[in-house]
């Protein structure tokens, strides 16, 4: 028995390929969904691009037959556009609201005795559908289990002589253990818990010692073993893409910028640092900002400026206004000398970025498709660093399991060019640590 999947508009806007993700079942798009796509098609952001892709695909299917009767897709499924007319059953809701009309279509098919599943990224819409007795689901493709997310680090108990061999040879073969490339391992003596060694996996069974010169970047030294692992990945040129997950204050952005300055200014390994972050406000938006692109970006990039000023002060806070002014001037000079460049993600599509140290901050607010678009911009000699906190997502249709950052962690964890670490301890201040742990 074929199932009827009734899709909400937000599913199509989240993933333009979603209509082909339900195998050989019926995919139903209410007319209200088509009307909402029409409102988004003129936008220049990712939502607009997805809307246009879906509309073009529907037009392609229209050439095969009547969409009102159902047209077979390449995967064997049937796509149908449902017209909301007099035959629509009303479960007792206001049909002047577009979301309610979409629900009414699903309810009507359900009343006809069919197996109906309402698919939406909107939690409230799913709650209403469930109240009507409909089976509901989120769009599950490109989702990961956040509770089991790869952390990039583990602890194992081993015989003490294995640790002694590791210190002597600076490497060791740990037979029978299946390590992930660039995974960090804390070897702990079975008899003496204080007898330990921190190692990095270079193959499924081989562990090597961490490189000492990767402990410091731009006079910033790691404060915890997780930060030490993070520095190892950020400063290793063979690791071309680094993902860093951590709560507020764990040092994600600061470490990435410190490593970028070290690699660009000191080691001359990259031409410049390119920093970008999604333009998604916390709370109510202030509206349009005056000025040119740089002036508009300055408001969104203020956290980056704060971290750069801290780094330009060699990790010390300014003591007075004169010190603060001097640090700000040094930060502005980095921009004038094109050592650091700020870019909005809106303008990154179509670019080919070569020889640069790219930092994408707040990556948890990006979809998997947006992350793919950004990473595919990388040219020869470019390193990508994605940072973010999956607990602080401002995108209304993403959560800790469906955002692009966590999706990237799971999809790339088996590749030698990728490294990941989860930072757990807040280093910003005791107050910031309390907020992250208790609020």
- Please name the residue that has the structure tokens 């807040």: 426
Q: What is the pLDDT of residue 227?
A: 94
pLDDT in tens, 319-345: 666 666 677 788 888 888 889 988 877
Nearest to 335 by CA among 369, 370, 297: 297
- Please name the residue that has the structure tokens 């700020």: 342
β-sheet with 356-360: strand ranges across? 340-342, 272-276, 356-360, 383-388, 241-246, 418-423
Tally of domains within the chain: 3
Q: What is the pLDDT of residue 329?
A: 81
What are the structure tokens assigned to 435, written together?
A: 């907020």
Q: What is the pLDDT of residue 352?
A: 86
- Examine the domain organization and report whether 179 and 326 are in the same domain: no
Distances (CA, A) of 15 to 49, 73, 142, 231, 428: 10, 17, 9, 34, 36
- Examine the domain organization and report whether 203 and 223 are in the same domain: no
Q: What is the pLDDT of residue 36?
A: 94
Q: What is the pLDDT of residue 294?
A: 60
- Examine the domain organization and report whether 131 and 230 are in the same domain: no
Domain boundary among 115, 137, 159: 137
- Examine the domain organization and report whether 343 and 234 are in the same domain: yes
Distances (CA, A) of 357 to 77, 225, 293, 387: 44, 24, 21, 13
Calpha distance 7→10 (Å, rounded): 8
- Examine the domain organization and report whether 300 and 396 are in the same domain: yes
- Examine the domain organization and report whether 131 and 163 are in the same domain: no
Do the beta carbons of residue 329 and residue 318 sit within 8 Å?
no
Q: What is the pLDDT of residue 66?
A: 92
- Examine the domain organization and report whether 193 and 248 are in the same domain: no
- Examine the domain organization and report whether 276 and 414 are in the same domain: yes
Q: What is the CATH number of the domain that holds 340?
A: 3.40.50.300
- Examine the domain organization and report whether 350 and 292 are in the same domain: yes
Q: What is the pLDDT of residue 207?
A: 93
Q: What is the CATH number of the domain that holds 184?
A: 2.30.130
Calpha distance 307→309 (Å, rounded): 5
- Examine the domain organization and report whether 127 and 251 are in the same domain: no
Calpha distance 413→400 (Å, rounded): 17
Domain boundary among 114, 137, 160: 137
Q: What is the CATH number of the domain that holds 90?
A: 3.40.50.1010
Calpha distance 82→120 (Å, rounded): 17
Calpha distance 86→82 (Å, rounded): 12
Domain boundary among 99, 114, 137: 137
Residues of the chain where predicted confidence (pLDDT) is lower than 70: 280-300, 314-325, 436, 439
- Examine the domain organization and report whether 188 and 223 are in the same domain: no
- Examine the domain organization and report whether 30 and 74 are in the same domain: yes
Q: What is the pLDDT of residue 286?
A: 43
Domain that holds residue 181: 142-209
Calpha distance 298→289 (Å, rounded): 10
Say whether pTM exceeds 0.85: no
């Amino acid at each position: 028995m074929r199932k009827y999947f009734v899709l909400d508009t937000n599913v199509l806007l989240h993933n333009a390929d979603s209509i082909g993700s339900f195998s050989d079942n019926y995919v139903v798009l209410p007319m209200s969904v088509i009307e909402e796509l029409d409102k988004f098609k003129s936008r220049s952001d990712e939502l607009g691009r997805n809307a246009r892709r879906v509309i073009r695909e529907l037009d392609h299917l229209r050439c095969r037959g009547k969409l009102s009767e159902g047209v077979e897709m390449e995967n064997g499924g049937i796509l149908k556009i449902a017209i909301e007319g007099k035959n629509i059953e009303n479960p007792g809701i206001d049909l002047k609201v577009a979301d309610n009309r979409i629900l009414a279509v699903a309810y009507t098919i359900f009343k006809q005795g069919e197996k109906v599943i309402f698919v939406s990224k909107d939690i409230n819409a799913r709650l209403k559908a469930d109240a009507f007795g409909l089976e509901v689901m989120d769009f599950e493709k490109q989702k990961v289990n956040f509770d089991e997310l790869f952390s990039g680090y583990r602890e194992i108990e081993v015989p003490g002589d294995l640790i002694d061999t590791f210190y002597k040879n600076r490497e060791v073969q740990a037979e029978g253990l299946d390590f992930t490339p660039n995974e960090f391992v804390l070897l702990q003596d079975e008899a003496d818990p204080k007898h330990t060694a921190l190692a990095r996996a270079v193959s499924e069974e081989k562990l090597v010692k961490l490189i000492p010169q990767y402990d410091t970047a731009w006079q910033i030294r790691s404060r915890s073993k997780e930060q030490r692992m993070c520095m190892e990945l950020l400063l290793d040129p063979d690791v071309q893409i680094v993902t860093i997950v951590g709560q507020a204050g764990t040092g994600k952005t600061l470490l990435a910028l410190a490593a970028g300055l070290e690699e660009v200014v000191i080691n001359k390994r990259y031409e410049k640092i390119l920093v970008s972050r999604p333009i998604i406000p916390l709370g109510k938006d202030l509206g349009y900002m005056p000025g040119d692109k740089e002036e508009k970006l300055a408001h969104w990039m203020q956290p980056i400026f704060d971290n750069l000023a801290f780094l330009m002060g060699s990790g010390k806070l300014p003591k007075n206004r004169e010190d603060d002014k001097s640090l700000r001037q040094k930060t502005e000079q980095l921009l004038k000398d094109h050592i650091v460049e700020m870019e909005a993600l809106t303008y990154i599509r179509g670019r080919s970025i070569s020889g640069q140290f790219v930092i994408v901050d707040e990556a948890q607010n990006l979809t998997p498709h947006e992350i793919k678009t950004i990473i595919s911009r990388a040219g020869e000699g470019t390193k990508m660093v994605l940072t973010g906190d999956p607990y602080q997502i401002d995108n209304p249709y993403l959560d800790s399991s469906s955002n692009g950052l966590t999706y990237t962690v799971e999809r790339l964890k088996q590749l030698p060019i990728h490294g990941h670490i989860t930072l757990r301890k807040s280093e910003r201040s005791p107050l910031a640590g309390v907020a992250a742990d208790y609020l």
